Amino acid sequence: MANTSSAKKAIRVQERKRVRNQKIRSMIKTVQKEALEKTKSNQTDAKIAVLRAISQIDKALAKGIVHKNNAARKKSRLMRNLNLAAENKKS
């Protein structure tokens, strides 16, 4: 347990940040899942869903919630799935 007042405050601050970060990470997973489902089923609004997911990932990256390589990997996978779906739709 923290002894000093500054250590106690640091614990409170960390908890607030943890809760905020948890919500944002959860939201990223949700929009990623929606985008993946739409690309797999070749829905017409798959591109919009992917762009929305990429936007959310970029916002989390800007806030320092996800690492830049992690964000790049997630965005790359989303775009790869979108492009594969577009190819399959053509043929």
Q: Which of 8, 24, 84 is nearest to 59 (CA)?
A: 24
Summarize the confidence of residues 34-52 as an average pLDDT.
Answer: 92
pLDDT bracket for residue 30 (50, 70, 90) = very high
| Structure-model confidence comparison of residues 33 and 86, the more confident one | 33
Tell me: domain 5-90, CATH 1.20.58.110, correct? yes
The domain locations on the chain are 5-90
Q: pLDDT exceeding 70 applies to what percent of the chain?
A: 99
pLDDT bracket for residue 78 (50, 70, 90) = very high
